[in-house]
C-alpha cells in the first residue's frame, strides 16, 4: 500500500509528503517455485486510490516522482520505478470497445468492455493518463457516448473534473450522443493526471424495464478526444 507521511532530509529540513510504498512479500508454502525474496507488487492500484482520495479532499493530485519513494519490505526489495500512467496523445480519438486503445486509461467506476464501448458503473468513474508537459491553454474533452437514465430521452448528466478542478457538465441523451467540456488552463499537468466523471443519475436497467441487468449504469463511453485550445 502507499501512504503519505511527514519526512525530513538528513539535515532535519522538512521535505513535505513522502510516499512510502510497502512491498508485498508473498509466501508460497510447500511450493518448489517459492523464492526467499519475491519482487514488489505493482503499486498502480495503490497510487490511483491515493490520487482519488486526495482529489476528493481538495488536495489535488500529487506528482509521484521517483525520488519521493522509499521501498520497504520484509526482505530486500528490488528497486522499482513508481507507477507511471499511460501517455495520452492530444487530438487522438481513443475508443473503448473490447481491445481498444482507450481502455488503458480507465480506472475504477467502469464496467467491463463490450463490443461498442464501456459503461460507467456507480456514481463515479475515473480516467488516468500522463502528458509530457503541462498544456499552457485550456483543453477540450470531447466524447461520444450512450446514456442510461429514467429521464425523458435518457438524459444523463455528468460533472467532469481534472485533478480536482471543475471542467464542466456533460449532457448526453439518446438523440445527442456527442458532447464536450473545456478544462481551464492549469487544470491538466505534466506527467500524472486524473479525470473524474460524477454521474448524476446512475440507473439499473432492470428498474426501468429495459432488461434484467442489475448494474448501476450511466454513461456508455464510446470514444474520447482531448484537444488543447490554440493560443489567440
Domain extents in the chain: 2-72, 94-228
Which grid cell sits at 149?
A: 437514465
Determine what percent of the chain is predicted with pLDDT higher than 70: 64
Measured from the Cβ of residue 4, the count of other Cβ atoms closer than 10 Å reads: 15
Nearest to 60 by CA among 200, 198, 186, 182: 186
According to DSSP, the residues that pair with 227 across neighbouring strands are 140
pLDDT digits (tens, 9 = 90+) for 65-96: 555 555 555 455 555 455 678 999 999 999 99
Please tell me whether the overall predicted TM-score, pTM, comes out greater than 0.85 for this model. Answer: no
* pLDDT the model gives residue 43: 53
CATH 2.60.120.260 given to domain 94-228:
yes
**Where do we find the cell 522538512?**
14
What are phi and psi for residue 231, nearest 5 degrees? -65, 140
CA 193 from centre of chain: 8
According to DSSP, the residues that pair with 145 across neighbouring strands are 221
Please state, in angstroms and rounded to a whole number, the distance separating the CA atoms of residues 178 and 172.
Answer: 7
pLDDT digits (tens, 9 = 90+) for 134-167: 999 999 999 999 999 999 889 999 999 999 899 9
Average pLDDT, the chain: 78
* pLDDT the model gives residue 44: 56
Amino acid at each position: 500500500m502507499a501512504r503519505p507521511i511527514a519526512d525530513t532530509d538528513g539535515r532535519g529540513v522538512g521535505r513535505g509528503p513522502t510516499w512510502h510504498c510497502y512491498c508485498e512479500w508473498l509466501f508460497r508454502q510447500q511450493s518448489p517455485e517459492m523464492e526467499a525474496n519475491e519482487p514488489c507488487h505493482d503499486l498502480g492500484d495503490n497510487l490511483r486510490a491515493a490520487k482519488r482520495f486526495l482529489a476528493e479532499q481538495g488536495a489535488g493530485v500529487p506528482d509521484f516522482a521517483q525520488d519521493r519513494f522509499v521501498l520497504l519490505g520484509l526482505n530486500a526489495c528490488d528497486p522499482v520505478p513508481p507507477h507511471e500512467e499511460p501517455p495520452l496523445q492530444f487530438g487522438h480519438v481513443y475508443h473503448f470497445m473490447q481491445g481498444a486503445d482507450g481502455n488503458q486509461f480507465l480506472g475504477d467506476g467502469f464496467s467491463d468492455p463490450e463490443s461498442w464501448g464501456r459503461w460507467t458503473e456507480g456514481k463515479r468513474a475515473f480516467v488516468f493518463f500522463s502528458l509530457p508537459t503541462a498544456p499552457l491553454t485550456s483543453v477540450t474533452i470531447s466524447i461520444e457516448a450512450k446514456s442510461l437514465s429514467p429521464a425523458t430521452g435518457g438524459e444523463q448528466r455528468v460533472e467532469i473534473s481534472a485533478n480536482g478542478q471543475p471542467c464542466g457538465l456533460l449532457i448526453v441523451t439518446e438523440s445527442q450522443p456527442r458532447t464536450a467540456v473545456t478544462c481551464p488552463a492549469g487544470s491538466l499537468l505534466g506527467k500524472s493526471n486524473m479525470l473524474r466523471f460524477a454521474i448524476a443519475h446512475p440507473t439499473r436497467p432492470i428498474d426501468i424495464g429495459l432488461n434484467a441487468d442489475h448494474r448501476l449504469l450511466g454513461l456508455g463511453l464510446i470514444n474520447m478526444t482531448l484537444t488543447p485550445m490554440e493560443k489567440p
